[in-house]
Structure 1
Amino acid sequence: MSDNWVVQNLENALDTWNEKLSEIWGLLTQSPQDFKGGGIWEVIVNINSAVQAIGYALLVLFFVIGMVKTCSSFVEVKKPEHALKLFVRFAIAKGLVTWGMELMLAMFDIVQGIISTIMNSAGLGANSDTTLPDEMVTAIEECGFFESIPLWAVTLIGSLFITVLSFILILTVYGRFFKIYMFTALAPIPFSTFAGEPTQNVGRSFVKSYCGVLLEGAVIILACIIFSLYASSPPQVDTSAAAVTMVWKYVGELVFNMLVLVGTVKMSDRIIHEMMGM
């Protein structure tokens, strides 16, 4: 590493960015059971089991409400075709409440397969590190004290943006895990709404939203792949310009692309909702 303070500051910011981006690649290929050693998942499983009792009670309630609203009289319930329809609906809802977690994990595995396919098709197993070009490092090191003063200001602003964006990026990915845990913990309640025809839309919306959260990982990994390809061919450095101009243009373009990446990741849920017509 260079002894120049300006270079060190920029390199430290880029190291933070590369570290968070590498962590994202690891997180997106990790299952909820393994996240943070699996301790969180054990608590979620216990909560899901406790909420199942509430789900069974609501299952009966929604079934009765649905039967009352869809049947004009008790005689209609005695019809074989209607009775069979009600029985199948109740059995499906009961199965969803009982084995909902297994179903959600199966859906997670499917999406993880999609993410792995995207990564393998791109030919990338990890992101390409973003580094300062050697020409820029040389130009900065050749600057005198007074020439370095404006470089300090540019460096501080650029480093601050890069560091903040890196933490926003990783927090978004952590937030996806939080949503997966919350969906899994409370799943028996929305699944119980499938027992009644008037309330089944709640369960459908829950399933769509959960699929949207899972597919956010595919959008995030695509955005990271695009940025990694960009990082492998960084912006051109104008060696004929002054050092401060060179750094300003380079850092500005780099921060702009980082903003695009972070913005895409932050809007991944909206992108998925538009794709699924939700």
Structure 2
Amino acid sequence: MEEAGKKSLFWRFASGEPLWMSSKKRSYREEYLELPIGERVWHWMAHHKIALAALALVLAATISIAAAPDDAEALPILIPVIGIGAAIVGGISALDFAIDGVVSWIPDMIRGFCNATFGLAETMLNSCIDSNMLGNEFRYMFGINNGGSTIYDWLHRIQEQFIIPVAMLMLVIFFTIGLAKILGDAGKGDTGIDTWQLIITFLAFAGTSVVIENSWTIMAWCYNLAAGVISAIGNDIEAVASLQTVPDSVENAGVLLSLALASIIVVILAFFVMLITQASIIVRGFQLYIYTALAPIPLATLTSESGRAMGTGFLKRWLATIIAGLVMILLLGCFSQIIHGMGSMAIPPMDDSVTAEGAINWTANLLGCFPLYIALAFCMLQSGSWARELVGV
């Protein structure tokens, strides 16, 4: 076998030997060619029973549809599809029968597809626990640090040029209404103006005006404080998914096709879990930026007795959005610990005698882990609601 592996490609082509064969296929071919002509057919049929079963299934479906065309509403579509499938299966079987091993690249191709798909799914699942955005500084929440104008700069400029002037005008109106009420109450009684109430009104006006003008800086500082805690927690979170590759010992075409189907299901589920998780984090980021930009307007209502509920409600919702980040990072940490406790989603050792059973068990274990990923996506969507319940909104 070693000498055969060292033969030149030209010699193999000239001798009629297939050019691309694994060592296992090459060994089988040598064993096959040593058999008497009469035994080769039964030997080949035993080795290719899955391909023959697939061919028989296609032929049976074709015959059953052709026998009862009136009951087959999709006959014009099904006949070409089944015919093409029968031609492909029959062609591969005939070619493999004529020169055994010439299609040995098919298992390698399917195995490569499975491993590439599982690798993509693993990358997607591990990206779900990436907490960088949750722990970024307020200015670079979306990871943009190119020195040019960013969302941060644009919203900050809008706040300074439009939102703060409107908020200050509202504050002056509320302050005037408050003074008028104090003077009106003084005219109704004999005690005169309530000096203490007047002082509190002026202090409230001065304090609120300072908060309005510096709301962006104050809220960014509060966010960065929470982001520091999130970063400290996020540093302890490890990758959660570990999808091992399909071993080269698996060459059964039926098993490989079932694994390929499982890999497609896995990567689709992984994509939606990643999409929901990352979208939840991005939505929180935009919410924080918009809340901060519009903060001066609800903050101006804090000096008004009738409008104070709006200001306090806004502060609670803004605080809930901050806490939602902590809820998310704690969810990711808990999720990582659960997955590590369950062990990696690996393929068990498989050889010729247990390939089908091993593939079935592995597929069941793999798909059984995905309710956890779906639960993570659901919890990420609910993190905002949990945070609002925590602050009483």
Shorter-chain TM-score bucket reads 0.7 to 0.9
How many matched pairs?
Answer: 268
Structure with more contact order per residue of length (Cα contacts < 8 Å, sep ≥ 6): 1
Partner of 1:53: 165
Q: Is the 8 A contact 1:41 1:181 kept in 2?
A: yes
Q: Is the 8 A contact 1:9 1:159 kept in 2?
A: yes
Task: Report the AA paired with residue 204 of structure 2.
Answer: R
Q: In structure 2, the residue corresponding to 1:194 is in which secondary structure?
A: helix
Q: In structure 1, the residue corresponding to 2:129 is in which secondary structure?
A: helix
| Match 1:131 to one of 196, 220, 242 | 242
Work out the CA distance in 2 between the residues paired with 1:169 and 1:71.
56
Change (3 A) 1:195 1:173: same
Structure 1 residue 262 and structure 2 residue 377: aligned?
A: yes
Partner of 2:291: 183
Partner of 2:133: 27
Work out the CA distance in 1 between the residues paired with 2:340 and 2:164.
50
Work out the CA distance in 1 between the residues paired with 2:260 and 2:114.
6
Cα deviation for residue 261 of structure 1 reads 1.5
Q: Is the 8 A contact 1:90 1:195 kept in 2?
A: yes
| Match 1:94 to one of 195, 200, 209 | 209
Partner of 1:167: 275
Q: Is the 8 A contact 1:67 1:196 kept in 2?
A: no
Consecutive unaligned residues of structure 1, counting only runs of 5 or more, are: none
Structure 1 residue 118 and structure 2 residue 218: aligned?
A: no
Q: In structure 1, the residue corresponding to 2:150 is in which secondary structure?
A: helix
Identity %: 19
Change (3 A) 1:146 1:69: farther
Larger relative helix fraction: 1
Change (3 A) 1:12 1:116: closer
Consecutive unaligned residues of structure 2, counting only runs of 5 or more, are: 1-108, 349-353
Q: In structure 1, the residue corresponding to 2:238 is in which secondary structure?
A: coil
Worse-superposed segment, 36-45 or 149-158: 149-158
Cα deviation for residue 141 of structure 1 reads 5.6
Worse-superposed segment, 181-190 or 146-155: 146-155
Structure 1 residue 224 and structure 2 residue 332: aligned?
A: yes
Task: Report the AA paired with residue 108 of structure 1.
Answer: Y
Change (3 A) 1:238 1:31: closer
Taking structure 2 as the reference length, the TM-score comes to: 0.62
Structure 1 residue runs of 4 or more that deviate by more than 6 Å after TM superposition: none
Structure 1 residue 8 and structure 2 residue 120: aligned?
A: no
Change (3 A) 1:145 1:61: same
Work out the CA distance in 2 between the residues paired with 1:68 and 1:127.
61
Task: Report the AA paired with residue 195 of structure 2.
Answer: P
Work out the CA distance in 2 between the residues paired with 1:127 and 1:133.
17
Q: Is the 8 A contact 1:44 1:181 kept in 2?
A: yes
Q: Is the 8 A contact 2:166 2:297 kept in 1?
A: yes
Work out the CA distance in 1 between the residues paired with 2:194 and 2:115.
81
Deviation string for 1:118-159 (max 9, x for gaps)? 346xxx1x532511146xx33x96151123333333222221
Taking structure 1 as the reference length, the TM-score comes to: 0.85
Cα deviation for residue 68 of structure 1 reads 5.5
Task: Report the AA paired with residue 113 of structure 1.
Answer: G
Work out the CA distance in 2 between the residues paired with 1:149 and 1:118.
42
Deviation string for 1:47-95 (max 9, x for gaps)? 1102100111111223344556677535378321221121122122212
Partner of 2:150: 39
**What CA RMSD, in Å, does the superposition of the two structures yield over aligned residues?**
2.7
Q: Is the 8 A contact 1:97 1:192 kept in 2?
A: yes
Work out the CA distance in 2 between the residues paired with 1:69 and 1:199.
15
Q: Is the 8 A contact 1:66 1:198 kept in 2?
A: no
Partner of 2:26: none
Work out the CA distance in 2 between the residues paired with 1:70 and 1:258.
60
Q: Is the 8 A contact 1:62 1:199 kept in 2?
A: no
Change (3 A) 1:141 1:194: farther
Work out the CA distance in 2 between the residues paired with 1:164 and 1:130.
15
Work out the CA distance in 2 between the residues paired with 1:141 and 1:5.
16
Which is higher, the Rg of structure 1 or of structure 2?
Answer: 2
